[in-house]
Structure 1
Amino acid sequence: MTDVPVDEMSFEDAIRELEQVVGKLERGDVALEDSIALYERGAALKKRCETKLTEAEEKVAKITLGEGGQPTGTTALGD
């Protein structure tokens, strides 16, 4: 695990660490207190990944298309 705050992680870093957390928990060779801390970190990482995916989906959904289906730009998320 890293010392980087979860809310500052990129999607790629968060998913990579989440995979490590899941691996450790699946092996079952972690003490109870450590398992709880890992689970909490994993939950935060999962939420971060979901947030970053939602942001990306919103950006893609806001791409405007011109004639012939060619991208012409984007619109603000509030539009």
Structure 2
Amino acid sequence: MSEDKIDDPKQFEASLQALETLVDQLERGDLGLEDSLAAFEQGIRLSRGCQRALDQAEQRIRILSEPSEDAEPEPFAGATAPPPSD
């Protein structure tokens, strides 16, 4: 996984799982110095990508939660239009 933008929940979950695996490997202490450094670097990239995805999700929630005085109600896409009033 790279540090690319994570915009899919499945990609986020996969990145998080990969990060957990790296942490487990590092905590066991089975890796040599070079492998530990490579795992640490990969973990940092994954961590940053996950953090960006979480920040973007938080921003979307804030935008959706803020009341807007200029917002006009729109019919739900799956709803049928009410019958015209005479």
Same fold (TM > 0.5): yes
CA distance in 2, matches of 1:65, 1:8: 25
Task: State the aligned residue count.
Answer: 65
Aligned sequence identity (%): 35
**Shift in Å at residue 64 of structure 1?**
4.7
Unaligned runs of 5+ in 2: 68-72, 75-86
Aligned to 2:2: 5
SS in 1 for 2:4: helix
Which is richer in strand? Answer: 1
Q: Which amino acid aligns with 1:12?
A: E
**Higher relative contact order at CA 8 Å, sep ≥6: structure 1 or structure 2?**
2
Aligned to 1:48: 49
CA distance in 2, matches of 1:47, 1:24: 19
Q: CA 1:62/1:8 → structure 2, altered by over 3 Å: closer, same or farther?
A: closer
Say which one has the larger Rg: 2
CA distance in 2, matches of 1:52, 1:8: 7
Aligned to 1:31: 32
**Shift in Å at residue 6 of structure 1?**
3.5
Normalised to the residue count of structure 2, the TM-score between the two structures is 0.66
Normalised to the residue count of structure 1, the TM-score between the two structures is 0.71
RMSD of aligned Cα (Å): 2.2
CA distance in 1, matches of 2:3, 2:49: 7
Runs of 4+ in structure 1 off by over 2 angstroms are none
SS in 1 for 2:34: helix
Unaligned runs of 5+ in 1: 67-71, 74-79
Aligned to 2:63: 62
